[in-house]
Amino acid sequence: EAQVTQNPRYLITVTGKKLTVTCSQNMNHEYMSWYRQDPGLGLRQIYYSMNVEVTDKGDVPEGYKVSRKEKRNFPLILESPSPNQTSLYFCASSSVGRGVEKLFFGSGTQLSVL
Partner 1 sequence: KQEVTQIPAALSVPEGENLVLNCSFTDSAIYNLQWFRQDPGKGLTSLLLIQSSQREQTSGRLNASLDKSSGRSTLYIAASQPGDSATYLCAVRMADNFNKFYFGSGTKLNVKP
Q: Closest approach of Cβ 11 to partner 1, in Å?
A: 15
CA distances from 64 to 12, 94, 95 (A): 17, 21, 24
CB 80, min distance to partner 1, A: 27
Specify the residue, 81 or 106, whose C-beta has the smaller distance to partner 1: 106
Q: Which is nearer to partner 1, 69 or 102 (CB)?
A: 102
Q: Are 74 and 90 in contact (CB under 8 A)?
A: no
Quote the least distance from Cβ 1 to partner 1, whole Å.
14
Contacts with partner 1, residue ranges (CB under 8 A): 4, 31, 33, 35, 40-45, 48, 50, 56, 58-59, 90, 92, 96, 99-108
Closer by beta carbon to partner 1, 85 or else 109: 109
At 84, phi and psi to the nearest 5?
A: -75, 0
The minimum distance between CB 106 and partner 1, in angstroms, equals: 6
Tell me the Cα Rg of the chain.
13
Strand ranges across the sheet with 76-78: 4-7, 19-25, 76-78, 65-66
